Structure formats: structure tokens, C-alpha cells
Structure 1
Amino acid sequence: MTALPDATDRAVALLREFGAENVGHPGGTLLTHLRRVQARLAGWRARPALRLAGLCHAFYGTDGFPAALLTPDRRDDLVAVIGAEAEAIVYLYASCDRKATYPALDQADAVFHDRFTGRSHVPGEQMRRDFAELSAANEIDLAVIDSGFREEWGPELLALFGRVQDLLSADAWRECRTVLAAPGLPSTDRRTGPDL
């Protein structure tokens, strides 16, 4: 298995090679955002493959950020740098058709709709957890950087992450409630009850 610092360095080099430093993104550049997402996941004590996926989650673009650095037919290029496990998380995240997938995301048999292929499948529990954790890290980064984004999307995202909180780490759910909740409103936690 590749050591995380070495894989991180190689991933950053690949991101630079494909221009992530030149792609604008809230709070700076795409590379800056990706590094913040990786750092947030590390702060939540995510395992190495998920942290690497956080760093590379926008390589193929996403349903919310269409600028792609690589096309999905070049998945092997990313696998060679970050490994198959991390790349599979990146692909699941990037390929997710959010409008079709999010409504049932809290269900154990939730069907993921692949926006690249048009196919659907049911990922295993670990991949669902990875998807939820990466999604939370990404959206929280945007909400912290951009108050307009937080005001517009915070309540909807908090509702989404509230529905899937059983898939999130305690640290991720805590930060979702802290960052995304409207000031002065209690947030409900199925694990501990209302946050009063």
C-alpha cells in the first residue's frame, strides 16, 4: 500500500499537471479547495483512502461542479496515483446524479444513479459512508468559505445530512450542525435528540 504522504504528493503533482491551480473556485482555486477538503477529512480522522479521495474528488468534475480535469475513461491514470480504493470513492462521488440519488440516500438500499453511464447500482455500506462523509466535507468547506452559499443552501444541506447522519462520523455530523444550522435554530440529532 502506498504511504499517504507519498500518494498525497503525487496526487497534488497530478492536480497541478492538469491545471487545478488555475481553475477558480470559491475561496481561491480548485486545488486550494481540494486541500481544505482533505484537511477537514483528516481532522475527522477519516482513513487514508477517504482523505485521498477528498483531495481528488473533483478530478472528473461533479454534478455541482462540471469542470473536469480528467475524463472518466482515464480512471486508470488516477488509480495509478492514489490507488483503486480511493479512486473508486472519487468516481462514486463524481458520477452521482444528485437529483436522482439524494431523495433516497438515507435508505440502506439507496440506488445511486451514474450521470456518466446512465446506469444505477446499490453501493455497499462502506461506500455509502464514504460518499456521505466526503459530501459533508465538501459542502461544509463551501459553507465556511462563502456565507451566501451557506445562507442559500445551508438549511437544505443540514436536512440532507440529518437524514444520513447515521452514515457520518460524529465529528462530521457535529460540524454539519455547527456550520449549516441557521443561527438560533435547534438542530435535531437522532443520536442525542434536539440540540438545545
Structure 2
Amino acid sequence: MLRAGGAAGIEHPGGTLLAHLERVSALLSSWNARPALVAAGLCHAFYGTDGFAVALLDLGRRAELAEAIGAEAEALVYFYASCDRGASYPGLTDDAGPFTDRFTGERLRPGLTTRRDFAELTVANELDIVAISPAYRARHGAAFLDLFTRWHPLLSEPARVHCHIVLGQAG
């Protein structure tokens, strides 16, 4: 589905979108993430994101992705893609913090597991780009260090360690 959607031909820092997706999935796997989160890492850009508008699959075809990777992983892909980052990032660690779906405008209050999965996937995504793009690191590294430090309660130990390794000297 990734190749059929054109991921191998879409430019992305570090090569192609396909290469990025594969690296994010491998990073999550190295952090011992459960299989649904690893699969979501591989497919996290299928519907585009608030930071990457290119979509590989229309939202009306969610069932196809769910059949390919499982319903739980597809739900994580949708949740990740749906994030209005400006509205959702600041309150992510707060149980009552709002999460705004950029597709529907709905304000949600996701549970702890969902927020942890979202944070872990976001960190893997951004750390992959920071690690391979000096310009991206220079532009965003300090802000990511600040954000991901605030998100530490949601992150696994391997993700926290990787943040420190990649962003420890950002800024």
C-alpha cells in the first residue's frame, strides 16, 4: 500500500517518504513498542498530517488500511494524522487537556494510552528527521527538546533516552 500510494517517490528529509516511514517504524520497534504502534509508525503519514499535507490514502478509504495493518494500528494512524498540533500539543500531558481533530474540528479528551501512543509516535517521527537533517535540527531542535521534555511522563524510557541522545545539545 505504501508503494501503491506513491511513498517511494515522495521527497522527504533523508530521501523519500517511504524511507522515513520505515525508519520511524524501526525506531519504535527498537524502543520495544507494541506491534500496533510499530505498524502505525510505518503508516503514520497515510492521511497526511498537520505538518505534512501529502496524503497517500483518502480518509474515505480507512477500512482498506485497517484491513492491511489492523484496526488498532489504523486508529492510531488516524489519531496521529488528525492532530491539530497547535491546539493539542500544549495540553497533551494533562488528563483533561483537549485534543483537536483537524479533520472534524471535534475536541476530544483522549485516554492515557492514546496520549502515550501519540507522544511516542510523534517523538519517533520528529527525532528521525532531526537526526538526518541538520537544517531541521537547527530550526526545531530546541523547541522539540522543550516539548518532549514536558512530554516525558508519557514517553517510554527508551524514547526518553533517545530524546536526550538526539536533542541533548539542541538549541
Shift of 1:181: 2.5
Shift of 1:104: 1.1
Aligned match of 2:116 = 129
Q: Output the CA distance in 2 between the equivalents of 1:26 and 1:141.
A: 9
2:8 pairs with 1:21: yes
Shift of 1:66: 0.4
2:143 pairs with 1:163: no
2:69 pairs with 1:82: yes
2:52 pairs with 1:65: yes
Aligned match of 1:98 = 85
Shift of 1:102: 1.0
Does the 8 Å CA contact 2:93/2:115 hold for their aligned counterparts? no
- For these two proteins, the number of residue pairs brought into alignment is 171
2:38 pairs with 1:51: yes
Aligned match of 1:7 = none
Structure with the greater alpha carbon radius of gyration: 1
Does the 8 Å CA contact 1:154/1:181 hold for their aligned counterparts? no
What's the TM-score, normalizing by structure 1? 0.85
What's the C-alpha RMSD, in Å, of the aligned pairs? 1.1
Unaligned runs of 5+ in 1: 1-13, 186-196
Does the 8 Å CA contact 1:60/1:70 hold for their aligned counterparts? yes
User: Aligned AA for 2:114?
Assistant: M
Unaligned runs of 5+ in 2: none
Shift of 1:109: 1.8
Shift of 1:169: 0.5
Aligned match of 2:99 = 112
Percent identity over paired residues: 55
User: Aligned AA for 1:127?
Assistant: T
Q: Output the CA distance in 2 between the equivalents of 1:43 and 1:153.
A: 24
Secondary structure of residue in 2 paired with 1:39: helix
Moved over 4 A (4+): none
Aligned match of 1:41 = 28
Shift of 1:120: 1.1
Does the 8 Å CA contact 1:144/1:150 hold for their aligned counterparts? yes
Deviations 1:94-136 (A, max 9, x none): 0000011111112122211011111111111111110000000
Q: Output the CA distance in 2 between the equivalents of 1:150 and 1:71.
A: 31
Q: Output the CA distance in 2 between the equivalents of 1:109 and 1:151.
A: 33
Q: Output the CA distance in 2 between the equivalents of 1:180 and 1:169.
A: 16
Does the 8 Å CA contact 1:93/1:131 hold for their aligned counterparts? yes
Aligned match of 1:188 = none
